[in-house]
Amino acid sequence: MQFLQSPPRFLFFTGKGGVGKTSIACATSIALAAAGKRVLLVSTDPASNVGQVFGISIGNHITVITAVPNLSALEIDPQAAAKAYRDRIVGPVRGILPEAIVKGIEEQLSGACTTEIAAFDEFTALLIDSSLTQEFDHIVFDTAPTGHTIRMLQLPGAWSGFLEDGKGDASCLGPLAGLEKQRTQYKAAVDALADPQKTRLVLVARAQTATLNEAVRTHSELAGIGLTQQYLVINGVFPASETLHDEWAQAIFQREQAVLHNLPTALQGLPTDLIGLKAFNLVGLAALQQLLVEADATPNKPCDAPHIHAPSLASLVDDMVADGHGLVMLMGKGGVGKTTLAAAVAVELATRGFPVHLSTSDPAAHVMETLNSTLENLTVSRIDPHEVTKQYRAQVLSDKGAQLDAAGRAVLEEDLLSPCTEEIAVFQAFSKVIREACTKFVVMDTAPTGHTLLLLDATGAYHRDIVRQTGEKGHFTTPMMQLQDPKQTKVLIVTLAETTPVLEAANLQADLRRAGIEPWAWVINNSVAAAAVTSPLLKQRAKNELRDIEAVATHHAHRYALVPLLKEEPVGVQRLKDLSNQGV
């Protein structure tokens, strides 16, 4: 493995949820320890199974892993770190400021940016010379902070003063409030990250367009702030040996090979390693010791493919159509297939004779072109996230930045690079479409998170302005109210039958519930267990899915549907129709 050759002291693994970065970080730590190096493994992944892997409780303190000589581990809980961070900022004003203002501050500090900065606050001490880490030869991090977070920490100026003057009320400025005292320590940490002699960043992806596009974004962001020592690991590559006599295996292999042969230009110059797909779950010391070893992926003991019975996507549509109109929102992390499923729901509704407007912010325009030319009752619109975000940033800088000094404007410009900004801009564009749901079905992809919705409601003032103008007894409906009304809006959470995507979907559901939005159903996409596979590797992976499917069916979802892995890409009306009606 190239990323393991002459490794520096710090190794960071980053990538989208579900690509295997935690497993690779653990396997790397085990390999380095086996080579006689003293290693500290640090996890900030909310889906961390480090303690489970080694059969001990780790938590937020350095713990010796007795099963692996030379290895210690530390689990930083990002949510606990974020809570402690919020308490330090909000505590001094609680009981002094009005409760409504305190709640607004808490909400401003509830998003991903706060979590990133709080986690960075926790492991900053590990990046500088200190007695805490001086005994270790290597410190392996899962997961790395984003370029957005690091750039925020690099910004000059008195952040606290900027906020105290009332200039910082956008999405991610709040988290900056508690940073001033640690600026010297943060500078040393950022310098260590940018030093190629000290730090190596490993981008982890799958042989899928979505995860590779995320790797491109991360590569560009971090290279732009000096983190140039980057490697690429493409995990879970389907082996050619499994393609005999199995149409699904052949289809997966061909799709992945096409992606690998058309690797994004930005990634082509990076040292790259491929790790083959394994039949076993990557839990347990024995499994992780095999992860970085090139070996036959076929299970030693072939298993029977499970026979699973679950509702189809069309069965969910059966329950949607009673009112003849409404808003259907598909939410989920990138790479789970929500855009395709949104198109499939729209096609199913339209073929039943209902007028449907499909609105998407996904760049996969080829799906919409197919729909536009072939299906009655369906209209399609595409919101360009880049364009609407550009317009939103320009508007905010014009309105709020006009009276700021150079330091204040720099902070505002950095804040507007946050992922929250794109969510807000896209949601504002979607809001113009939402009102059509009173007379037809509106199917929306992609939806913002609950944090963004709450932020819009708490600080965006649109809802409150309407209330003030009309009074409590006035007749009005805001987009937020429509999303909270289960009679008007049905939210479908999309996930995969894998541990990390299910956990991320559960976190999204909790986030939405905090915003007063109750998800209507879950959709498990690309299920191997729902396909008629014969490859030994795929049959074992189908068996591995059963636990996560059961968790969704019995614990997370009020109702759910299972969409099988397909042999052909579901592009075009007929294939989308077939996708909805796959019975399992």
CATH number at residue 100: 3.40.50.300
How high is the pLDDT of residue 161?
Answer: 46
CB 277 within 8 Å of CB 537:
yes
- Output the pTM of the full model: 0.79
14-18, 329-333, 486-490, 539-543: range with lowest mean pLDDT: 14-18
pLDDT in tens, 539-562: 999 999 999 999 999 999 999 999
State the chain's maximal CA–CA distance in angstroms: 72
298 counts as catalytic: no
Of 234, 259, 291, the one marking the end of a domain is 291
500 is catalytic: yes
Q: What is the pLDDT of residues 344-400, one digit of tens each?
A: 999 999 999 999 999 988 665 556 666 656 788 999 888 888 898 899 888 888 887
pLDDT of residue 149: 62
- Structural domain containing residue 539: 313-384+430-580
Q: Is 18 a catalytic residue?
A: yes
- Given pLDDT bands bounded at 50, 70 and 90, which one contains residue 435? confident
Rounded to 5 degrees, what are φ and ψ at 77? Answer: -85, 105
At residue 355, the 3 state secondary structure works out as coil
Looking at the fold, whether 365 and 268 belong to one and the same domain comes out as: no
Residues 351 and 277 both lie in one domain? no
Please confirm, yes or no, whether 22 is among the known catalytic residues.
yes
Q: What is the pLDDT of residues 69-120, one digit of tens each?
A: 999 998 887 777 778 777 877 887 788 877 777 777 776 676 666 777 777 7
Q: Which of 45, 77, 415, 511 is catalytic?
A: 45
Indicate if 237 and 370 belong to the same structural domain. no
Q: Which 3 state secondary structure label does DSSP give 183? A: helix
Q: 14, 17, 22, 278: which is the annotated catalytic residue? A: 22
21 tagged catalytic: yes
Q: What is the share, in percent, of the chain residues with pLDDT greater than 90? A: 34
My answer on whether 344 and 246 are in the same domain is no
92 with 165, same domain? yes
Our count of domains for the chain comes to 2
Q: Do both 105 and 201 map to the same domain?
A: yes
Exactly one of 218, 500, 527, 580 is catalytic; name it.
500
Final residue in a domain of this structure, among 243, 261, 291: 291
Same domain, 260 and 321: no
- What pLDDT is attached to residue 89? 76
Q: Would you say residue 568 lies in a domain?
A: yes
In three-state secondary structure terms, 40 is strand
Question: Residue 284: pLDDT above 80?
Answer: no
Given the residues 21, 338, 539, 543, the one annotated as active site: 21
pLDDT digits (tens, 9 = 90+) for 113-142: 677 777 777 777 787 767 778 899 999 988
541 found inside a domain: yes
What gap in Å lies between CA 578 and CA 561, rounded to an integer? 14
Same domain, 259 and 344: no
Do 229 and 340 belong to one domain?
no
Q: Is 20 a catalytic residue?
A: yes
- 180 is written with which tokens? 């001033």
Catalytic option among 15, 16, 17, 18: 18
Number of other residues whose CB lies within 10 A of the CB of residue 157 = 16
Both 485 and 526 in a single domain?
A: yes
Query: 188: helix, coil or strand?
Result: helix
What amino acid is encoded at 280 in this protein? Answer: F
* Residue 370, domain member (yes or no): yes
Q: How many CA atoms lie within 13 A of 315 on its CB side?
A: 15
Whole-angstrom Cα distance, residue 106 to residue 179? Answer: 16
Q: Is 240 in the same domain as 337?
A: no
Q: Which residues of 55-90 are buried (b: 16+ CB within 10 A; e: fewer)?
A: eeebeeebbebeebebbbbbbbbbeebbbebbeebb
Residues 266, 319, single domain; the answer is no
Residue 351 known to be catalytic: no
Whether residue 337 contacts residue 562, with contact meaning beta carbons closer than 8 Å, is answered with no
The string of pLDDT tens digits covering residues 148-204 is 567 655 654 444 444 445 444 444 555 555 555 566 777 787 788 888 899 899 999
